[in-house]
Amino acid sequence: MRLHEQAALVTGGRQGIGRAIVDAFVSEGADVMTCGRASRPSDLPSIVGWTQTDLASKDEIEELSFLALDRFGGLDILVNNAGVQIEKTIVDTTDDDWDFMMGVNAKAVFMACRTFIPLMKRGGVIINIGSVSGNIADPGLALYNASKAFVHGLTRSIAVDHGPKIRCNAICPGWITTQMTDAAFTVAEDSDAARQDALARHPAGRLGNPEDVAATAVWLASAESAFVTGQCLVVDGGMTSTSPVNPTLF
């Protein structure tokens, strides 16, 4: 029970990585609240608080903070997980694409941190979900790559400006088996070949699972990582450590 009686807010906890983090936090003893743009999932445990929230809206983030204060009285852990993805190059990206993706992936993270940092208890933890795409450029995901690079930079700034009251780190997942990853593979001319090539580049021998990211989030939220702040931890099965040469050819 590494998070016993810790008050945690996880954005985008309806499915995928966010839901895995919610479940892991609950199993470790945290009191958890989560949110999403759609209605409450039917299989979400009753002990988990839920609110339908558009995180790109300043007013709705403020309302979320009031709900969190009412439930918790203060906040120990904030996980900025909510994110969207658009599979386009920059020349195909519209102004509406920019407003939508940067609103959720960048502005929402900024506004949530700005709103909740003053409400966090001393020793609090912020975990931002970045991506290996913020360190290297995935093809056909220009704006997504840029949005995650923003998250990484903001993470470091928060750690520097607001320590030692809080710690702030980012998790940078690689290819995790979610709907978003499936959509990214559709950009390729041959989706099956792209998936097999990606798999071959993982020294771990598999793509990641949401639970792999959730386990890292539990560690970052716990006292076990008390001396870790301002870091962007890559969780990618070794993918970005490999040579660009496909290892199955040798």
Residues tagged active-site: 144
B/e letters for 174-208, b = 16+ CB within 10 Å, e = fewer, are bbbebebbeebbeebeeeeebbeebbebbeeeebb
Q: CB–CB of 19/37 below 8 Å?
A: no
> What is the torsion angle, in degrees rounded to the nearest 10, for the CA atoms of residue 202, residue 25, residue 10 and residue 170?
-40
- Give the pairing of strands 75-80 and 31-36: unpaired
Question: Hunting for tokens 């793509």 — which residue is that?
Answer: 207
State in Å, rounded, how far the first CA of the chain is from the last one. 45
**CA 49, CA 121: separation in Å to the nearest integer?**
20
**CA 131, CA 18: separation in Å to the nearest integer?**
14
> What is the torsion angle, in degrees rounded to the nearest 10, for the CA atoms of residue 33, residue 173, residue 233 and residue 133?
-120
**CA 79, CA 3: separation in Å to the nearest integer?**
14
Q: CB–CB of 201/239 below 8 Å?
A: yes
Q: Which residues pair with 32 in a beta bridge?
A: 8
